[in-house]
Amino acid sequence: MIPSEFSIGPIRVAPATVLAPMAGVTDTVFRRLIRAQSGCGLLMTEFTSSHGVVNMRKSRKPTKAFRYLYFEPEEHPISAQLFGSDPVVMAEAARVCEDHGFDAVDINFGCPVNKVVKCNGGSGLLRDLPLVETVLRHVRAAIRIPLTMKFRAGWNDKELVFLQMGRLAEECGLQAIAMHPRTREQGYAGRADWNRIAALKAGVKSIPVIGNGDILTPEDACRMIEETKCDAVMIGRAASANPWIFRQIEEYRAAGTYWRPTERDRYEIMRSYYSMLREKDTPDAVGKMKQFATYFTHGVRNGARLRAAIYAHSDAAVILDCVEAFFEGELSSAAA
């Protein structure tokens, strides 16, 4: 079963579950929504450009990096994820994150997106392990809070480097590592090979290994722990459509069964998220509402009709009214 907790240096993470950093998803509003559902041990920011973070400190104007790094007190413990390939800039960005109050810093060596890889960021660095080591040593020397990293298994099936990455993490003084076992070439296609997570766990002796990839249900999370012996699980895309998954995992860990959301629960979480976007005055609130309409209406009767209504409007208040009106009709019809 899922461990009740694990530690990243001095940080106690309980339960042993982590929200994966996801671009365009894990902003402060979504993270607080997840934390409010209970059960997630550690939150992570969207991956953020190290150059953007350094420029943020120099600029007097609000920047995208500032939005990415904003968090509320109830989000602790929380880790800031950075990407980049310049060791000096990465170290300075990590210091900014420490000064900002984050509990840990995580380095992204996993993003497969072309525009990131072309800048030698994300999974692009998996083909230059000497530079990976230099980045890790610079960042480790720059901060006092825990340093972790997330990476893919390798560039492709012929260039697997996850065991070397694990050894580098230990040698450079990191406190935990997370691996998505697909390669950069795979993107999100095919199956995540959990055998690679098991091999990494067997090869790493002194720090926790967090497993990530193809966890869609609490049963999947427990199966990953059983098959790989990893210390914790990281949930990504499944949390978008099912923000309750961390609560479900914790219930399954404790009792062997778990609660499943009703249509009313889906209405309430959709209303809560949309209301939080408006209260926070999120710059792209309407875009987020349309994006998350796809996630949150999963399994909702006549959900396509609600999505069409949301997509047709460009005013946040009107969209929220659409949600209220739709569910008022659907829930009344179901109760009749």
Which two structure tokens, joined as six digits, stand for 280?
């926070």
Which residue, chain included where needed, has tokens 């099912």? 242
Q: What is the pLDDT of residue 315?
A: 93
CATH number of the domain encompassing residue 240? 3.20.20.70
Task: Please check whether residue 59 lies inside any domain of the structure.
Answer: yes
Residue 34: its pLDDT value, please?
A: 96
Residue 207 inside a domain? The answer is yes
46 Cβ contact partners less than 8 Å away, ≥ 6 residues apart: 21, 22, 23, 24, 25, 26, 27, 68, 81
pLDDT, average across residues 116-141: 91
Statement to judge: residues 251 and 133 lie in one domain = yes
Q: Are residues 247 and 289 in the same domain?
A: no
Check whether 235 has a pLDDT greater than 60: yes
Asked if 133 and 107 count as a contact pair (C-beta separation under 8 A), the reply is no
User: Which of residues 222, 255, 288 is at a domain's end?
Assistant: 255
The residue range of the domain holding 244 is 6-255
The model's confidence at residue 306, banded by pLDDT at 50, 70 and 90, is very high
- Tell me if 102 is assigned to some domain: yes
pLDDT (0 to 100) of residue 61: 64
**270 found inside a domain:** yes
206 and 273: one domain?
Answer: no
User: 245 with 278, same domain?
Assistant: no
Domain-ending residue, one of 207, 236, 255: 255
Q: Do 64 and 19 share a structural domain? A: yes
What lies within 8 Å, CB to CB, of 55 at 6+ separation is 63, 65
Q: Which of 111, 172, 222, 230 is catalytic?
A: 111
Residues 60 and 124 in one domain: yes
Q: What is the Cα–Cα distance from 215 to 218, expressed in whole angstroms?
A: 8
Residue 132 lies in a domain: yes
Q: What per-residue confidence (pLDDT) applies to 60?
A: 65
Q: Do both 166 and 296 map to the same domain?
A: no
Give per-residue pLDDT as tens, 243-284: 999 999 999 998 999 999 988 999 999 999 999 998 887 888
Last residue of a domain, one of 205, 234, 255: 255
pLDDT at 189 over 90: no
Residue 1 belongs to a domain = no
Q: Please confirm, yes or no, whether 111 is among the known catalytic residues.
A: yes
Same domain, 249 and 268: no
Judgement on whether residues 151 and 208 belong to the same structural domain of the protein = yes
Q: What percent of the chain has pLDDT over 70?
A: 98
Structure-token pair, residue 264: 């009313």
307 falls within a domain: yes
Determine the Cα–Cα distance for residues 59 and 197; give it in Å rounded to an integer.
41
> Per the domain annotation, does 198 fall within a domain?
yes
Query: How many structural domains compose the chain?
Result: 2
